[in-house]
Structure 1
Amino acid sequence: MSCVTPATIEVTPATLRGQLARWPTGVAIITANGLSRPLGKTVNSFHSASLEPAMVGWCIDKKSSRFDEWVAVTGYVVHVMASHQAELVSRFAASRSDRFDGVETTPGLDGIPMLTGEVPLRLECRVAGTFDVGDHVYLIGQVVTMAATAHVPMTLQR
């Protein structure tokens, strides 16, 4: 029997990001109401936080555009994306002010814009809490409504 000894790697933001990219992760688009226009962002930090009560969470980088608006929201919608929705994922991941241009939405909980295309899972949430986690802020939401389809969720892995 052979034993593999891992190499020690210096922990830097770049090496940590590179190694964590090897871990498969889901992809979601989060939408919310902004001050003057809707907020939308592609994230891979979305996850379940609690089943009872139903809560989910995600993290936003403090350097993100419109960060102050994101941490002030009272609710958000999580759209778990499918692999055939890569164009939308790229659109909401890019640094651009026109993320919603030409994208169909419908008002959801508290008027939050919801993407109208079928997604594997859609969760409408009210913010239950936020707290600092290093260079990010963690937003925990209580799930108010949920809709699901048979589409397979998208995952990323390098």
Structure 2
Amino acid sequence: MNTDNVVLDSGPAALTPAELRAVLGHFATGVAVITAHDGTRPLGFTCQSVVSVSLDPPLVSFCPAKTSTSWPLLREAGALCINILADHQGELCRQFAVSGADKFAGVDWQLAANGAPLLAGALAHIEATVEFEHEAGDHTIVLARIGALRATEGAAPLLFYKGAFGGFAA
């Protein structure tokens, strides 16, 4: 199927997941690893649906899959860190996308001020707490209040586009 010329006009009921991926994959997104610490161990998962929601109050949103086994554990922990990945962190992204693995094996991290893992080398870190969750099809929309944030200058973002990772060139 040539996805460059996909025209979908048969109504939402006829759309397939493959068609949605083919067309919505044309929207490049940044990639993040959402982390928390439950007092015993660090937890985390890869997420590409992070978006700024509000400046006042400071809110961000992300959307974990309902099938995620990690998200319920992070929710219980409470304090989160959204680690915005840099273009050299594709392997780290893949590591945190694997279910059931020791996601932190070989990963350089430290605790952020809110107690969530802050991943070394990330482009930016956003410390947040969950304010609200909303059911949304096969995902959950999470709204989180930002408590602290920081960014690293000079690095470029890891991007996800049409099913592949890449970087940004100005």
Normalised to the residue count of structure 2, the TM-score between the two structures is: 0.81
2:84 alignment partner, one of 77, 80, 83 = 80
Number of the residue aligned with 1:123: 126
Number of the residue aligned with 2:168: none
The answer to whether structure 1 residue 46 and structure 2 residue 50 are counterparts is yes
Number of the residue aligned with 1:138: 141
Kept after mapping to 2: 8 A contact 1:71/1:130? no
Return 45-54 or 31-40, whichever deviates more.
31-40
1:69 alignment partner, one of 63, 73, 94 = 73
Return 59-68 or 22-31, whichever deviates more.
59-68
Q: Moved runs in structure 1, 4+ residues, more than 6 A? A: none
Structure 1 residues 22 and 153, CA, compared in 2 at 3 Å: closer, same or farther?
A: same
Q: Which secondary structure state, in structure 1, belongs to the residue aligned with residue 88 of structure 2?
A: helix
Structure 1 residues 149 and 110, CA, compared in 2 at 3 Å: closer, same or farther?
A: closer
Structure 1 residues 8 and 32, CA, compared in 2 at 3 Å: closer, same or farther?
A: same
Number of the residue aligned with 2:7: 6
Number of the residue aligned with 1:57: 61
Q: Which secondary structure state, in structure 1, belongs to the residue aligned with residue 57 of structure 2?
A: coil
Deviation, structure 1 residue 36:
4.9
Unaligned runs of 5+ in 2: 163-170
Structure 1 residues 11 and 80, CA, compared in 2 at 3 Å: closer, same or farther?
A: same
Q: Which has the higher relative contact order, 1 or 2, with Cα contacts under 8 A spaced 6 or more apart?
A: 1
Paired amino acid for 1:120: L
Unaligned runs of 5+ in 1: none
Normalised to the residue count of structure 1, the TM-score between the two structures is: 0.86
Q: Among the aligned pairs, what percent are the same residue?
A: 33
